Structures are given as C-alpha cells and as structure tokens.
A and B are shown apart, each in its own frame.
Chain A
Amino acid sequence: MSTEQEERNGRRLGRDDFLKLGAVTVGSGVLAACGAEDAPEPSAGGPTGEDVEERPPIEQEPGDLEVFEWAGYEYPAYGGKNGVLKPYVDQRGKPKFTFLTSDDQALGKVRAGYRPDIVHPCVDYIGNWVEMGVVQPWDTSLITNFADLEEPLVTGGQVDGQQYFIPADWGFSSPLYRADEVEPEGGVESWTLFYDDRYEGKISWWDSPLENFVIWGYVNGIENPWDMTDEQLDEARDFLMSKKHLCRNFWSSQTDLDADIAAGNIWIAYAWAGSYAEAKNAGLDVVYSDPKEGRLGWNCGFVLMADTENFRHAHEFVDAWSSVESAEWIINNYAYGHANTTVDLANVPKDYVEVFHLDDPEARQEPNAHYAVPVSTERRAAYAQRWDEVKAA
C-alpha cells in the first residue's frame, strides 16, 4: 500500500513541480516557435457517422498506439501485458506511453509539434485543446462501456455539443482541516474556513489559476463560477488579495502539503482525497469537509488527436480504460474515483466508498458537488492573470 501511496503522490508531485522547472528554460521557446508553423487549423466540426464508415478498418491502421499519459497508468499491473488493460493489449499490442507532468506542459508539447494518438488532460483544459484545433470528437458508439460512465462527467466533457472528452479518473477537492485545532465558525462546514481570520498563518490554498476564484464564486452564490465576468473576477481578486495574508503558503505539490500538515505548519488546506488518507495514516485528527457550498471535483480523461491514424485503436483503448475492471483497479490502487459507475462496492474498501460517496450518487451531483468543466482559452487567461496578480501583490 505504501508504494502505491508514493506512486500516487509521485504523480501529483510531477504534475506541477517538474513543469515549472522546465518552463523557465528558454528551450521551450525554441520548440514552440519551430512548431508554430505545424499547428493545424481548427477542424470544422468532428466526424459524423459517415466519416466513421469511411475510416479504414482497424486492421489497416498502423497500430502502435501512442498515449500521452500521466506516469503511473503505464505500470505493468495496469497498462502492461498482464494488467487490467489486458483485453486491449492482447489483441492490439502494448501501447507506447509518453508522459505528461501537467496540463499546461502537455499543451505546450503538443503546441511545439508533438503528435501522439490520445492524451489524458483534465476537463477544465478541454477548451484550450479544442481551440488549439488539435483534437477531434470521439465516436461514442465505438465505446461499449460509454453508457456506464457517470452522467455529469460525460456532459462536462462536451464542447459545442460534441464529446471531445471521455472522462476517466476523478476525485473530490475539499477543505481538509485539523479537528483538534480548528473549529468551523458556528459548527457549519464551509469553504469560508479559507478566509477565517482566527487561523492566520495556518491556511494553505492551492496554487492554481482557477480554483480560488471558483471557490469565491460558490461562496458568493455566483451562478456559474467557472465562467465569471471580468467584473466578478476583479471583485474576487481584490477579496483574495485582502485575505492572502492568512495563508502560510499556496501549495503546488501534494507531497509538500502532506509534509506541512504532518509537521503542524498547516491546519487548513484545499486538498484531494490522497492528502486526507496521508494525514490519517500519519495519525492526525483530520476532517475531510463536506462544505455547504458543495465540494469541487477534478476530472481527467481522454482526448483524441485530430490527425491520428489510429482512430479505431484509440477507441478500443479508451473502451478498455472505461471498463468496470479498470475502475476497480484505479479505485483500489490509486484511491482515485473512476467514471464507470457499475463498480461492485463489495470489491472496494469501505473508506473509499465513503470518501467518494460511491454509495450515494446524489452526493456526486450538482448542487452537492461541482465537477470542473471546460473553460475557454480567453476565460482561463482572465482567471490566470488575476491569480498571478494575487500572488505577485
């Protein structure tokens, strides 16, 4: 279990840290500039049913599926020969995995001309992927497990009514706090714990361009916090600036956050379920809050590159990923949620059933939980600019 824990953390650690290190090197500028000419024009619409008919049968595809994937999903027990994806691997051969460390790094690499067959980004970046014109919608009729996938995640993966994104792994994001040190105002669980003056210097927000504004939006009853106007964002920015002195830090790697919680530096944090498990393992008295404004949910899945020659291979691979066997493996081994809702709860540890509300579909739906949704390039830039101002101020 402990190695699996590390693997999980490793994935989250990699996501932001390595990117940041890499991003400052001017080399990426060269790559991007060279790739600038290669970026294809946005494709007009996706394939219709007829397109699929016209596509060559799977035997005529080159195969050698290339998957741009988070580290950890290629392990032999999962993506390998005898792993959960065995049905695909046996028939079509082992895919070639390359690794992304964060959504922005993945976008940057594709921007610079990298062309895998499928990529595993998170849903709030789908707007960027579609606008960059490098992806095409999936033909969901080719994915036999599609009907078993969680409905809000499926609809959340649509842009302009087309299914550009097949949801795969997900998890909640919620306030985590030390029950022995922190007493929520009036005993009510709420995201406003992040702005509580009593805990100055003991709070850690996530260092991410969207979420802190989204939380402010839900706290203030904004109708769609994922798509706020410039005026709303300005108001949120000013508020966050006025409260940022309460934060000890803005965390960017889960390992660092877990260490800070264990060391008593942080009592209240934006956290994924993994941090809750980690704090529990460390023997701390912690609560993974169910705030009255609703938990947030992150959600990653697959996009299909526009110029893939492995159209049918890609669908079969994602079909295997979407299977109930895959879901059980992901939940049990990585403590992530999985979009497939048909998991037999008897095969899942009780803790996980509880943390992910696996036995309570309503708790996973609006208004009790707010999954991330695609955000347009223009809106993301507006959020990000203000978050950078909050950080720099």
Chain B
Amino acid sequence: MAVEARKIETPTPVPVVPGRPRSGLVTTALLAPPLLWLGVFFLVPVVLIFLYSVNVFSFFPGEQAFTLDAWKNFLDGSPFLDLFWKSIRMSLIVSVVAVVAAYPIAYYIALVASKRKYVLLLLILAPFLVSYFLRILAWKVILGDQGVINSFLFWTGLRDEGDPVSWLLYSQFAVILTLIYVYVPFVALPIFASLESLDRRLLEAASDLGASRWQAFRKVTLPLSMPGVIAGFIFVFIPTIGEYFTPLLVGGVDGTMFGIAIADQFGQSLNWLNGSVLSFFLLVVVAVLMSIFARFLTVRRVATD
C-alpha cells in the first residue's frame, strides 16, 4: 500500500520556494568551490596516480611509455596481493569485533542511560583528547615483554620472568587489538544515532502483542538500527584496509599491512610505478566496496520505511 501511495505522490511537482524561482547562478556559485576543490585535489591526483601506474609518468627521467607490466606483476601472484588479502582479513576482524563491542555501549547510552546520555557520549569521545600517537604508544607499554600485562603474569607466577608472552606486541594481534580500541567510539556514534531516533511506540506495541524483551530486540530494535550498524562497520572497514600508522608502531614483522607497502614504494624504495599500482588498486577496491555498502544501506532504509 505504502509503495502505491508514494507512486501517486511523486509526479506532483513541489515548488521549491514559491514566488522565488531558483537562480542557476546562485546554485553554480555555491557548488563551484567544493567541486573545484574535489577536482583539483582529488580527481586530478587520482588520474596522475593512474598515469604513474602505467609508466606514462615516472620518478626518474628516462623512457616513459605506456605499459601494464607493473599491473601484471602485481596481479600475478605478487606478495603484495597476498598482503592485500591479509589486510582485508585483519580489517574484517577489526570491523566485526568493533561493531559487536560498540553495540551494547550505544544501546546503553541511547535507550537506558536517559538523563546522563550526553555526558556518557562525551566520555566515549574523551580518548580523542589525547593524541593518536600517544594512545598507541600506551599500548606498547601495556603489551611489551616487560609491559603491564607481562609484569602482572610474572607477579602472579602464571609465567616465568624469562618467558614473557611475546605475541602481545609486534604481531597481528597487537594491530587488531589497537585498531579495535581506536575505532569503537567511531562505531558507537552511528549506532547510537540510529537507536536514539528509534520510535519507542514500536517497542510498546511489540510488548503489547506479547513479544518478550529479547524478541522485541531481535525483531524490532536490531533491524531498525541496522543502518547505524552498517554505517559503523563502513567507518571502520574502509579506513583500516589502508591502515599505516598502527601496524608501523605495533605490527612488527608479522603485523605489517598494505598501507605500509604503499608508503614504502613511494618512500625508501623510490618505486612510484609499483606504489601507484598498489594505491590505485586499493582505491578501486574501496570504491567498489563503498558502492556495494551504499546500496545495502538504502535497501535497508526502504525496507524499514
């Protein structure tokens, strides 16, 4: 029914501002600066990166001719491609755990905390008062061989002093843990927003119709908060695929990620050709993922309308 009703409504044109026709000039003037900005500082560099990746431009002067060799090498079982999949895997773990960890927090703040809601929300954001670098350094202190956790294990006698748990730091575990810690607030915010706007009457209706609290959560609250969950998931997943700083500081040999490989190619290896291939590939994958997620988000919204 709802769909049909909408169908009838849509053809009716709604005047934007009655009596004042929209001026094309004003629209252009308003849109031009951001579009120009995007074009000059995003689109042009992306095109340039692509041109570097096919050797139309190169770092050192010399023969510059179109070639797909670097792309072929990359896609043909190079260690960088494996590293990319490893980064995807790590990002997935981080995103899923961060969402699961953030949901109860967001739920509590949005639906239970009532009066103290915004104080708690500010508390979640409190870590951002400390620089990112310092927060990661703090993890090094906690996870090191003579760090907080290992010292505690020595003290309790669970571990011998000469035999610390060494996979805590400089490992995939360290990177995943640190990233989860960093991103939980980012995930909690969109989930909080979607739970906050939840129509409480729906929960009352569910209860009137005999649903248990768990059933009401599963059939009403969770589906209605899905846009927030997916948005939160994207907020973590997309940026962590190309993560650079965290694996550099706590990743060690085992926890290295794709973003480090890209930085190395443009930096110490002076291999802009390969570096451009890696970055452009990452860009394409992220763009594809974004469009898939975006579609998913819209479908959800329509379904819950």
Contact = CB atoms under 8 A, between A and B. Distances in A.
Interface of A: 16, 19-21, 23-24, 26-30, 32-33, 36, 39, 41-42, 102, 104-105, 107-108, 111, 128, 131-133, 201, 207-209, 244-245, 247-250, 252, 256, 259, 263-265, 377, 380-381, 384-385, 387-389, 391-393
Q: Which of B42, B60, B83, B166: most chain A Cβ within 10 A? A: B60
Task: Classify chain B: how many residues form its interface, as a range.
Answer: 35 or more
A354 B266 CA distance: 38
Given A133-B61, A209-B268, A392-B82, A29 B45 contact: yes
B140 to A, nearest CB: 8
30 contacts: A16-B267, A20-B248, A21-B263, A23-B263, A24-B266, A26-B46, A26-B279, A29-B45, A29-B49, A29-B52, A30-B48, A36-B57, A39-B61, A102-B267, A105-B267, A107-B270, A132-B60, A133-B61, A245-B253, A248-B166, A256-B249, A263-B140, A265-B169, A380-B270, A389-B78, A392-B82, A392-B83, A392-B256, A392-B261, A393-B82
B80 interface: yes
A104 B268 contact: yes
Contacts of B269: 104, 209, 381, 384-385, 387-388
Contacts of A107: 270
A34 to B, nearest CB: 9
B39 interface: no
Contacts of A244: 253
Interface in B231-281: 244-245, 248-249, 251-253, 256, 259-272, 274, 276, 279
A-B complex: 5 closest residue pairs judged by Cβ atoms: A384-B269, A249-B252, A26-B45, A23-B266, A392-B79
Contacts of B261: 388, 391-392
B248 A30 contact: no
B107 interface: no
A132 B61 contact: yes
Contacts of A259: 140
Interface in B38-88: 41-42, 44-46, 48-49, 51-52, 57, 59-61, 78-80, 82-83
Contact of B270 (A24, A104, A252): A104
A17 B117 CA distance: 40
Contacts of B60: 111, 128, 131-132, 377
A391 B46 contact: no
Contact of B268 (A21, A111, A132, A384): A384
Contact of A248 (B59, B141, B253, B266): B253
B170 interface: yes
Contacts of B252: 247-250
B44 A384 contact: no
A392 B45 CA distance: 26
A362 B137 CA distance: 43
Contacts of B253: 244-245, 247-250
State the majority secondary structure of interface residues on A. Answer: helix
Contacts of A247: 252-253
B45 A27 contact: yes
Contact of A391 (B49, B249, B256): B256
A392 B263 CA distance: 12
Q: Which of B79, B253, B260: most chain A Cβ within 10 A? A: B253
A176 B130 CA distance: 34
B181 to A, nearest CB: 20
A104 B57 contact: no
A124 to B, nearest CB: 11
Interface string B109-152: 00000000000000000000000000000001100111100000
Contacts of A393: 79, 82
Nearest to B265: A388
A38 to B, nearest CB: 11
Interface in B210-239: none
A250 B256 CA distance: 10
A39 B267 CA distance: 20
Nearest to A387: B269
Contacts of A41: 61
A249 B170 contact: yes
Contacts of B264: 20, 388, 391
Contacts of B52: 29, 33
Nearest to A248: B170
A28 B83 contact: no
A378 B126 CA distance: 50
A132 B259 CA distance: 28
B79 to A, nearest CB: 4
A29 B140 CA distance: 34
Contact of B144 (A132, A201, A263): A263
